[in-house]
Structure 1
């Protein structure tokens, strides 16, 4: 009986491995041509990268615009001017599995390009570089990570922010209570409602969430607190050289032509929908360097 169970488990494990391998070997361009549809992964609240201004309809944003440029390149490559774009809402927990199994072709949001993730998926050249930091309410009086001792801290489930916070806690022997939100907006509500005194996330996403909040003047980002600098990249399947080449070429051309800087200005230094709020997040030296020397390198 035990031998049978062991054999069954071994067979199941082999099936899972084969399925994973097959998922990685999807010919994306062929899949798109046969279906007439390209599938883009989006977020509903990652301002200004990928979000829905009115809560419905197609998403907009900086990362979304980059992916639509990739869609144009796919249309030209395949001779499909009427190529359909199908959006799928992703989160930190399902984005990699849905890329791997072929449900989504491009993840167009705020995914950090990490060495660990590169074992599962591929990335386009980085289109943004951010700092993982902390937002608090001004009235809290918190100015450093040490001030968080014994307090509740909000993070996003499945994000690199959680890993960095836990690493800092172990290194510095800092005791805090983690409270996870299912996405960036959900985690911000934990801070806004005082269920958490701080929110650990990428500085640019914190700036976006604060800008569109009812009382943006209530919050401050601790810009001198940096847990790590991280690059964002459009995520796609591994081991798909033709599609990877098309994506890389398109994103690199956006950077070299200056179009990427124009897209950046549109979303970070000008009023954006739905309320015409200006996030006022000028391009950093790290982002400029990413555009001067396009790279898929992860952290």
Structure 2
């Protein structure tokens, strides 16, 4: 007992010394940029129209442009003037770990803010709201969720849609065979080739897939919205200083009308993908409300 008591103050001192070092490590994005001269942003290959490669092999997208505004603010905030912006491509499976381990400083795409993910990363003010629905061939008899019972349904691996489908499949006893796609394009290809009867994704992503398909009339987006979800930028957990900077950029874009202009550019005008297509999706009331009342709440 005496031996344990003697060690207690030493252990407490070690813990006390380690805690500030950890806190400093997770809350120093701007300090890291100042020390390394680099700011790393995540890219996606096919998260259309949020973060993707266009026909000129250039990164583009609604969320990508938000990330660029944040990068500009970072460069204007830190003391050094030679900051380089680096990019790193991520997938639905790798994006959270790469932000959590501080390989990537910022990720803005079609990433849902969830309570579960808050255990690993922080989220900015939300910049978009979507709902989970299904994409089916126009000839399909699937119209709502109970119609998928006993069928193959594809969903992108590592997404909130995958977790939602698994939970409902178990609770509703649908006996669905869940097929996992590696990304958005692969998920669409799976239902295109008949290996799945339906594809489960966020509704705006589904509308973009339909718009850029060979014949949009061949596809329907169906099913009641299962759950609304908010898209937000991801950053490392505990970095309150950087979160404040990112939130300020997004809120400022909302107040100035820049977010609305970006919406018009990516959802109501042709974009340079596969020769050009127009999603042609009017802004929903819930997105208008988000722009008028910015927040970082989980839906």
Q: TM-score, normalised by structure 1?
A: 0.88
Say which is worse superposed, 203-212 or 23-32, in terms of deviation: 23-32
Which residue of the partner structure matches residue 135 of structure 1?
A: 135
SS of the aligned residue for 1:295 comes to coil
Gaps of 5+ in 1: 1-17
1-structure distance, mates of 2:281, 2:171: 31
Which residue of the partner structure matches residue 34 of structure 1?
A: 35
SS of the aligned residue for 2:133 comes to strand
| Per-residue deviation, residues 237-272 of structure 1 (Å, max 9, x unmatched) | 111121111111111111111111111111110111
1-structure distance, mates of 2:76, 2:212: 37
1-structure distance, mates of 2:291, 2:80: 29
2:180 corresponds to 1:180: yes
Which residue of the partner structure matches residue 167 of structure 2?
A: 167
2-structure distance, mates of 1:150, 1:85: 48
Shift of 1:92: 1.5
1:1-299 pair list within 5 angstroms: 25-54=26-55, 56=57, 58-79=58-79, 82-222=82-222, 224-274=223-273, 275-299=275-299
2-structure distance, mates of 1:73, 1:82: 14
Q: Could you tell me whether the CA contact under 8 Å between 1:24 and 1:239 is conserved in 2?
A: no
Q: Could you tell me whether the CA contact under 8 Å between 1:269 and 1:282 is conserved in 2?
A: yes
- In the superposition, relative to structure 1, how do residues 148 and 162 fare at CA in structure 2: closer, same or farther (>3 Å)? same
1-structure distance, mates of 2:25, 2:231: 21
Shift of 1:82: 4.7
Q: Could you tell me whether the CA contact under 8 Å between 1:111 and 1:234 is conserved in 2?
A: yes
Number of aligned residue pairs: give it: 280
Q: Could you tell me whether the CA contact under 8 Å between 1:131 and 1:228 is conserved in 2?
A: yes
SS of the aligned residue for 1:111 comes to coil
SS of the aligned residue for 1:270 comes to coil
1-structure distance, mates of 2:81, 2:276: 32
Q: TM-score, normalised by structure 2?
A: 0.88
The ranges of structure 1 where at least 4 consecutive aligned residues each deviate by more than 6 angstroms after the TM superposition are none
| Per-residue deviation, residues 9-46 of structure 1 (Å, max 9, x unmatched) | xxxxxxxxx9xx67961511111122222111111001
2-structure distance, mates of 1:123, 1:96: 11
RMSD, aligned CA = 2.0
1-structure distance, mates of 2:209, 2:23: 39
SS of the aligned residue for 2:139 comes to helix
- In the superposition, relative to structure 1, how do residues 23 and 185 fare at CA in structure 2: closer, same or farther (>3 Å)? farther
Which residue of the partner structure matches residue 6 of structure 1?
A: none
Shift of 1:72: 1.1
Q: Could you tell me whether the CA contact under 8 Å between 2:269 and 2:279 is conserved in 1?
A: yes
2-structure distance, mates of 1:166, 1:23: 38
| Per-residue deviation, residues 67-96 of structure 1 (Å, max 9, x unmatched) | 101111111112555532211111111111
Q: Could you tell me whether the CA contact under 8 Å between 2:23 and 2:238 is conserved in 1?
A: no
SS of the aligned residue for 1:73 comes to helix
- In the superposition, relative to structure 1, how do residues 107 and 217 fare at CA in structure 2: closer, same or farther (>3 Å)? same
2-structure distance, mates of 1:119, 1:87: 25
